[in-house]
Amino acid sequence: MNPAAYESTFFLALRRMRAPLITIILIYAVSVVGLTLVPGVDAEGQPTRLSLFHAFYFISYTATTIGFGEIPYAFSDGQRLWVIVCIYLSVIGWAYSIGTLLALLQDQNFRNAVRLQRFGQKVRHLREPFYLVCGYGETGQLICRALDPLGLRAVVIEIDEGRVSQLDLHGLSADVPALAADARQPEVLKLAGLTHRCCRGVIALTNDDNANLAIAIAARLLAPGLPALCRAETVETANNMASFGTRHIINPFDKFGRYLALSLHAPAAYHLLEWLTGVPGTVVEPHRDPPRGRWVLCGHGRFGKVMVSTLEEMGIPVTIIDHAPPVEGDERWVRGDGAGAPALLAAGIREVVGVVACTNDDVNNLSIVVTARELNPNLFVVLRQNLQANQALFDAFESDFTVVPSQIVARECLAILTTPLLAPFLSEIKQRGEAWASTLLDQLTERFGWEAPTVWSARVDADQAPALLRLLSVPAGPPVTLGDVLFDPHDRAQELECRVLYLARADDSTVMLPHRHTPIQAGDRLLLAGRGAARGALDLTLHNENALDYVLWGREIPGGWVWEQLAKFHARWLGSGNAPRSGDAAS
């Protein structure tokens, strides 16, 4: 669909209705002129003719089948004969016009034009920040559902009309403008708000690497200041995106390969990462660490290649089962289907410590791991899940790792969009060592349990912390530390169920696990983890001056304009000496 071809549905309709409209105009013109030429008689029986106005008035209601009567006098037989001709002409004309109009309304091109124009109007009228989501598959649905409760809008482009039509069934609270179109077309991206002043980013999530690359290039050229998050499943596409300056390139297979490598050499760091990036409210159960020894891998596709590379880099030998081994006679390769016992036995499944089922077919992957577990019950199982719709089947099988590419991409995108400080913090975790990560994991899980916490970012600026910023802007004002504000604004004796994990200053300096006595400065960015209720309570403290005053010094100042005025009047009245002394009050 080319948006330039449908700039105006009005003119498109006029072009299609040109012949019927000309026909109607000609019928009216001939009927009116003929009616003025046919002689009639007035009330006294004198010859007369209808004026143009009376003729047009009569033909107007007669041709539309209303039929008020003969005006201004009863018609002569000649006039009535002409009116009969006009009636049949108008019926033919209107039938032709209505038939053409109905055909126009059913025409797919016209319906596309109307849908395109409505979509463009919705996007142009947006006055709040939104993200442009290209691709509404499983990953796109996860992201839209996660953005909705955060109050962040989305605009969707999806090439499959079936998925677009199902969007209204997903129960999102905000209206999501959606268009069934090819996101590779720059005009489509512009129509969807790529250059809109409220657009905050582009998320390319299609299952076509070439389409994601085209979106990344368009975003770089048309909106160079806009962040782009792009999915890429091949190294070549990722490198091409990077060459155009794409900031965030997410390869789900490469990302999981890094997770597996981290779990092999630093299990505590991996558990900490999994706990911090889990869906809030879900229980993250610590699983056994991947064992060292020989592994078997079934399916040497894109994901299989990444897994083989990861395991070999960690010094773990791998036997690969594939239908078409690239090397014959190599002991690492076994020709066959991993779903059958013969191929698994030939790969030494009874002696290995782990198995990876990574084909692009969910049923085949489940068949592989079920057969492998029957032959070796102690196997460490890594299982690839391609479709979210098969979740019930994968839940029934207890694997050690279940790889869901759509969830990996969605979680990575949401972490970048909603908690930008999480990525540098996780990078620091990987560099600090296993002992440091183990200590921090024990501290956090001892305080919050193994339920995945709410992780969020807060910035000391006019938008996210206006009350605190005003206090810090007071010359020679009292210093405020992190520990000072982490109390309940409803009961300052209760400490909030959260912890500051990372602090980034305005001068680009950072502090890992800042102490509660660390002073807060204007422009600071904080990464916090804890209970969801703590986030709302802290937001109230940062936004409301009365709540901040209560948390810091315990002063309960009346809220609202009326109560503030009464409090000021009461203070002036006490200062004037009119208030009763204690003795007077007693008497």
**Helices 18-37 and 52-63: angle between axes, nearest 10 degrees:** 130
Q: If you average pLDDT over every residue of the chain, what do you get? A: 87
Which residues are registered as beta bridge partners of 454?
530
Residue 126 has pLDDT above 90, yes or no: yes
- Whether pLDDT at 527 is above 60: yes
Q: State the pLDDT confidence band at 259, using cuts at 50, 70 and 90.
A: confident
Mean pLDDT of 512-535: 93
* Helix%, strand%, coil% for the chain, nearest 5: 50, 15, 35
Residue 540: is its pLDDT beyond 80?
yes
**pLDDT 10s digits, 374-418:** 999 999 999 999 888 888 999 899 888 889 888 889 888 888 888
Tokens of 583: 């003795």
Question: Which two three-digit tokens encode residue 57?
Answer: 């008035």
Section 50-55 average pLDDT: 92
pLDDT band at 548 (very low <50, low <70, confident <90, very high): very high
Percent of the chain having pLDDT more than 90? 53
Question: CA 1, CA 313: separation in Å to the nearest integer?
Answer: 47
Q: Which of 306-315, 320-329, 442-451, 498-507 has the lowest mean pLDDT?
A: 320-329
pLDDT at residue 583 in the model: 37
Name the pLDDT band for 447 (thresholds 50, 70, 90): very high
Residue linked to tokens 């390769």: 333
Comparing 20-24, 326-330, 445-449, 466-470, the range with the smallest average pLDDT is: 326-330
Residues 530-540 have a mean pLDDT of 92
For 547-556, what is the mean pLDDT? 88
Q: For position 432, what pLDDT does the model report? A: 87
98 — phi, psi (to 5°)? Answer: -65, -40
pLDDT for 576 beyond 60: no
- Number of other residues whose CB lies within 10 A of the CB of residue 190: 17
**CATH number of this structure's domain 127-250, picked from the four choices 3.40.50.300, 3.40.50.720, 3.30.70.270, 3.40.920.10:** 3.40.50.720
AA letter at 345: L
The better pLDDT of the pair 204, 583 is held by 204
Residue 64 pLDDT exceeds 60: yes
What confidence score (pLDDT) does residue 587 get? 28
Domains in the chain: boundaries:
3-109, 127-250, 255-427, 453-574
* DSSP character at residue 277: H
CATH number assigned to the domain covering 3-109: 1.10.287
Whether 127-250 and 255-427 share one fold: the answer is: yes
Q: Does domain 255-427 have CATH number 3.30.70.20?
A: no
Torsion 571-574-578-581 (CA) sign: positive
- CA distances from residue 525 to 423, 425, 585 in whole angstroms, order as listed: 14, 12, 52
What is the pLDDT at residue 31? Answer: 94
Give the pLDDT score at 246.
85
For residue 43, what pLDDT is reported?
Answer: 82
pLDDT bracket for residue 565 (50, 70, 90): low
The CATH number of 453-574 is which of 3.90.1150.10, 3.20.20.70, 3.30.70.1450, 1.10.10.10?
A: 3.30.70.1450
Name the pLDDT band for 557 (thresholds 50, 70, 90).
low
Hey, what's the torsion of the CAs at 489, 493, 495, 496, to 10 degrees?
A: -30
Q: Say which residues have a Cβ less than 8 Å from residue 410's Cβ, sequence separation at least 6.
A: 139, 142, 143, 146
What is the pLDDT, as a whole number, of residue 196? 94
Q: Is the pLDDT of residue 258 over 60?
A: yes
User: With a threshold of 0.85, does the pTM exceed it?
Assistant: no
Summarised one tens digit per residue, pLDDT across range 324-364 is 877 666 678 998 888 889 999 999 999 999 999 999 899 99
Query: In the chain, what percentage of residues exceed pLDDT 70?
Result: 93
Q: Estimate the crossing angle of helix 209-222 against helix 235-243, to 10 degrees.
A: 10
pLDDT at res. 170? 82
pLDDT tens across 468-516, in order?
Answer: 999 998 887 778 999 999 999 999 899 999 999 999 999 989 999 999 9
